[in-house]
Structure 1
Amino acid sequence: MKLARIGILLDRQAASRLHGLGQNVFQAYLGEILAHAGIGFRWLDSADELNRDSFDLVLVALAGEDKATAEALLRFAEQGGGILSYGGLNGRLASRLGFCRGQECGPGYLIQYSGEGTGQTLRFLTAVPWRASGGAPAYPMRERGILIPGAPEDHTAGAAFQQFTIGTGFIDRWAVDIPSTVVQLQQGAGPVTEDGAPAPDGTAELNDGFLKADDVFELDWEWDRKKTETGQPYFSTAYADLWREELIGHLLQRALGMELTVPFVDYWPEGVSYTAVLSHDSDGNLEEEAQAALELLEECGIQSTWCMLEPGYSAEIYSRIREAGHELAFHYNAVEPDEGFWDESEFRRQLEWLRKAIGEEGPLTNKNHLTRTEGWGEFFRWCEGAGITCDQSRGPSKKGNSGFLYGTCHPYFPISWSDESNRLYNVLQIGFLTQDLDHGKWADSSVIVPYLEEVRKVRGAAHFVVHQYHIYRREEVRDSMRRIVAEARKRGFAFWTIREIEEWERWRRELTIKATPEDGRFSVMDSKGNSHWQGKKPVVWIPVSAEEQSAGEAEGLTQRFGVWCRQAAPAIEEA
């Protein structure tokens, strides 16, 4: 099959107008979603660039609502192209299709039904369903899924998905604004300016007087938490990651329906399906605490990430940490009772202390003490300016809000607010799930298995925080760490450091997939011609048609994004 040519339409003039009005265009996050999925694409700055000679499938992030844009989109579809939209196209194009914009709704839940009558419930934050404007639709159309605003058992607001056949092509429209939903699940719907509302059951007192990441989150205390067998509540579902899978899976299926395919680079290298991370914050800064952590890590046989809080350890301890293969990272302190404060100059001062203490001038990763956060993007700007290339600060600070509080266990680049034109920050975010299990202050170890199972389901990174302070003092915390390692290994997780994940993620995004038409093989290389990274080999997947599966080629196929794929054979075997 030929390779699909994919574009993302982001009308720059319309985006600039919205930014000038102080409105966000989070729909631009479509680019980040495809980039993380390992899919190549090109940007279109206006509907004038829609051309069947250049594109097969175009995802609409933002389009003008004028007549010319509607005509350009219809013409592209009539000529055999595919248009995919996410809560948009609500003006003239909706009218041409025989529909009009319904009432915006959200948050709520989308229920997807398969042919067998089973379904998956996904929380959405923003949706704009369509309703018929009178009479029959102007084009053949089918619908699936239902939107339920509010609680999962409330009334329906309309169809979740509509598919229009236009000439030899199509226009598919999700009522849910998927990219905006992903952004707000991961980063919140607004900046952190005040304490969050505590959990009604008293398990997460967010009103503690410290501004922190989890003061703003978009999940529901009642509907989005489950309880383990011990009664421990936790946020159970990686909604943002599942929305990414819905979007990518739909794109791959539509390409196959056009007898095209979309090769993509796997999340992880050959031999790795998902990763686990242990990180430690040096809060107590006692040498004996570090020694206890080093001994336990050696017993477990893993390398981890050590986030250092001023004044840190001795040079001898730093040498031992490095010699054991662990990562040294930053732990910014903006907690006033711990003699820190929120200020860029203070952030830089503490970072300079760490660089001198450990002898490191290159990029570092960071986790903020007590997950301290203010505003929306100012901290990411500080990181960009100071050489912090990866942050780990988005995680739960309380017992009752652990788990998938931000809907994701994948690394991602956060998006800025409208005042920075919704650019992506060059700071990879890798959040964590929980900390210091069985300590009593946080969740107990009954969450380990459900966390690992959900991470395995979406093939992400299971990040657990364990403080050296508690490793040294609490046998139950040491045992919970041993159980994390044992349960993760039982399920095939590879233990990486935060730095390893960041470097791999950045490198794999540089890769370009090229096909060799003569033999159907593929080459994958970065900008310097490298096809490996530190001994790790990228995997390229090729979605296959139903005909290939039924023709007896199912052996060796693997599902990715709900689509059967085969691993591509390299164009040139490496020596």
Structure 2
Amino acid sequence: MKMARVAILTDRKAAERRWRYGADVFEAYLEEIAASAGIPFERLESVRELKAERCDIAVVAISEEDDETLGILMDFAKQGGTIVSCAGLNRMAGRLGCRELAAAGAGYAQLPAALGGRPVPYRYLLAKPWVPLPATAGAGAAVRGIGTLSAGEGGGTRPEVPLLLEIAVGRGRIVRWNVHIPYTVVAFQQGSGPVVEDGVPAPDGTGALDEGILKADDRCEMDWDRDRLRTDTGYPYYAYPYADWWREAFVGGLLREAQVKGLALPFVDYWPEGVEQVAMISHDSDMNIDESAAATLDVLKECGIRSTWCMLEPGYSAGIYERVRQEGHELAYHYNALEMDGGRWDRGEFERQLAFIRERTGEPIVTNKNHYTRYEGWGELFRWCEQYGIRSDQTRGPSKKGNVGFLFGTCRPYYPIARYDEQNRLYRVLEVGFLTQDLNHPSLPDTSVIAPFLDAVADVRGVAHFLFHQTHIWREPGVADALRAVVREAKARGYQFWTNERIWRWEEARRQVRIVRDGNGAARVEQAPPDAVIWTPAQDGQAGSAVRFGVKCVRYAVKNEVGS
């Protein structure tokens, strides 16, 4: 079977125009969404390249909308190609039998089960809807609407506004998502803007974000009321990894388009052979009491796991570090920018503290979590991490009892995007956020959140990251028991415990895999680790091994040809 060729068009000229006027091109994040899912694609910077590349599926992230560009895209579809757009191509609406509506802010969409959707509505953060004109709508029409889109924040469901449009054009078609998926994913993961002021506190008093300390969770795009559930014991938590769901919806759409064409679209699995999902335990040394470190090491040994130790200046004594190393744990950095603890948000201070921790531990130190989740601006932290050799960050997590869970809509490791002043590049720092900290502590939730967190993470095959401070493990027997409960419940669900460094190293290794077409059009896998797993959508009559991105897929071990 021939391999589908996917291209992502991020038109350089159109992007530069936006950057010139201080506008972001978050549409470019579709490349990271595809890369994170292991989807092979070619990057195009001009629509004219589309004519030469002979692609099967063209994802138009951003393009010019002049007559020449639209003509090339229409010709591509008429000749049998598939075009995919996320809330773009608006000048084409009329010629495709549709009408553009006003853009809508946050709302909720219903994705049908046939497209891998869940019963729960998906929160989105920006939509630019089209609706079919009456003459083109209906059964057998050239324009088919799928799913439903609400009117926006607080609006009711509007069944006449579809989530997705499939538009027949000649021998091909145009698939247009009415939701701006890349913006939605970015805004969930990183916020809709920089952290410059306190966030809005929870109406029920469980999330006092307005305490005068700038933190990662001051920019959260969830709704306190609609996006939280309560556990059996009454603790509220953000229940839905919306960003991960939207990623899955987009990638699943690409896989289905390949199926429609009878083509293979192989992709690299999230995890290596034998791993379905990963759990991670991290600690923040804070009080730096040796006895607390020893107590934590004893609990970890009892549980049979390895964890990540984020070290705050001045750190522990040398003997503790030696035991941490001998027992296979990772030594990491805990940058202090909290003024009340003598810290400062400053590049030089970031460098000074990191140099101290590296010298004190004798370790290279490649991962970090900020003390108290202190955060400012947009990309400064990631630039500092890049500059000083920090390869992965864990800062994006909750600081309050009432905002635990998926407050950033994700449990997947991801590379964050810069703003327009850096031309929306990707930072080479893998973000691995956490779900909660110190369960059973008097000021935090109890262990009733463990099961819903683990089940939701397993559903998207992410990382279930729990933070436990050594001092609380030592002083609060209930916190130590909560750590034991996390390990017990996670192992029962098939989780494997990794350190942050191991997660980063695997993510880098899997992204080196190349799936290319050979001279016969079949897929060939190159530069793959021996334990990598490759999937491709099952074709008609072919039994699927598992469901990935809402699509039945066939699993292949790494070999020369896939799907042939």
TM-score grouping bracket, smaller chain normalisation: over 0.9
- SS of equivalent residue, structure 2 residue 489: helix
Q: Which amino acid aligns with 1:466?
A: F
Q: Which amino acid aligns with 1:387?
A: G
Question: Which residue in the other structure is 2:193 paired with?
Answer: 190
Mapped partners of 2:160, 2:204: distance in 1: 30
Mapped partners of 1:77, 1:493: distance in 2: 44
Mapped partners of 1:249, 1:184: distance in 2: 21
Question: Which residue in the other structure is 1:561 paired with?
Answer: 549
Question: Which residue in the other structure is 2:418 paired with?
Answer: 416
Q: CA deviation at 1:203?
A: 0.3
Q: Which amino acid aligns with 2:30?
A: L
Q: 1:284 aligns with which of 275, 287, 299?
A: 287
Q: Which amino acid aligns with 1:107?
A: A
Question: Which residue in the other structure is 2:261 paired with?
Answer: 258
Question: Which residue in the other structure is 2:233 paired with?
Answer: 230
Deviations 1:460-498 (A, max 9, x none): 000000000100001100110000000000000000000
Q: Output the TM-score relative to the length of structure 2.
A: 0.95
Mark the CA change 1:132 to 1:515 in structure 2 (over 3 Å): closer, same or farther: closer
Mapped partners of 2:321, 2:48: distance in 1: 58
Question: Which residue in the other structure is 2:455 paired with?
Answer: 453
Q: Is the 8 A contact 1:521 1:568 kept in 2?
A: no
Q: Superposed, which structure 2 residues align to 1:311-460 within 5 Å?
A: 311-360=314-363, 362=364, 364-460=366-462
Q: Is the 8 A contact 2:333 2:365 kept in 1?
A: no
Question: Which residue in the other structure is 1:125 paired with?
Answer: 125
Mark the CA change 1:115 to 1:461 in structure 2 (over 3 Å): closer, same or farther: closer
Q: CA deviation at 1:336?
A: 1.0
Mark the CA change 1:223 to 1:156 in structure 2 (over 3 Å): closer, same or farther: farther
Matched, 1:28 2:22: no
Q: Is the 8 A contact 2:85 2:177 kept in 1?
A: yes
Mark the CA change 1:177 to 1:519 in structure 2 (over 3 Å): closer, same or farther: closer
Mapped partners of 1:355, 1:231: distance in 2: 42
Q: CA deviation at 1:261?
A: 1.2
Q: How many residues align?
A: 557
- SS of equivalent residue, structure 1 residue 65: coil
Mapped partners of 1:254, 1:154: distance in 2: 27
Mapped partners of 1:105, 1:312: distance in 2: 49
Q: Is the 8 A contact 1:334 1:340 kept in 2?
A: yes
- SS of equivalent residue, structure 1 residue 159: coil
Question: Which residue in the other structure is 2:541 paired with?
Answer: 547
Q: Is the 8 A contact 2:136 2:142 kept in 1?
A: no
Q: 1:538 aligns with which of 532, 538, 541?
A: 532
Question: Which residue in the other structure is 1:70 paired with?
Answer: 70
Mark the CA change 1:42 to 1:515 in structure 2 (over 3 Å): closer, same or farther: closer
Question: Which residue in the other structure is 1:147 paired with?
Answer: 149
Matched, 1:113 2:112: yes
Question: Which residue in the other structure is 1:37 paired with?
Answer: 37
Q: Is the 8 A contact 1:434 1:465 kept in 2?
A: yes
The CA RMSD measured in Å over matched residues stands at 2.0
Question: Which residue in the other structure is 1:210 paired with?
Answer: 213
Mapped partners of 1:53, 1:517: distance in 2: 15
Q: CA deviation at 1:519?
A: 13
Deviations 1:292-321 (A, max 9, x none): 000000000000000000000111111110
Q: CA deviation at 1:568?
A: 1.3
Q: CA deviation at 1:547?
A: 2.5
Q: Is the 8 A contact 1:522 1:568 kept in 2?
A: no
Mapped partners of 1:154, 1:119: distance in 2: 14
Q: CA deviation at 1:548?
A: 1.9
Q: CA deviation at 1:570?
A: 3.5
Q: CA deviation at 1:513?
A: 2.5
Matched, 1:96 2:99: no
Q: CA deviation at 1:237?
A: 0.6
Identity score, percent = 50
Q: Is the 8 A contact 1:139 1:166 kept in 2?
A: no
- Mark the runs of 5 or more structure 1 residues left unpaired by the alignment: none
- SS of equivalent residue, structure 2 residue 48: helix
Mapped partners of 1:521, 1:90: distance in 2: 35
Question: Which residue in the other structure is 1:467 paired with?
Answer: 469
Mark the CA change 1:152 to 1:545 in structure 2 (over 3 Å): closer, same or farther: farther
- Mark the runs of 5 or more structure 2 residues left unpaired by the alignment: none
Mapped partners of 2:53, 2:105: distance in 1: 38
Q: CA deviation at 1:54?
A: 2.3
Matched, 1:178 2:178: no
Q: Which amino acid aligns with 2:455?
A: E
Q: Is the 8 A contact 2:2 2:523 kept in 1?
A: no
Q: 1:499 aligns with which of 498, 501, 523?
A: 501
Q: Which amino acid aligns with 2:542?
A: E
Q: CA deviation at 1:154?
A: 5.1
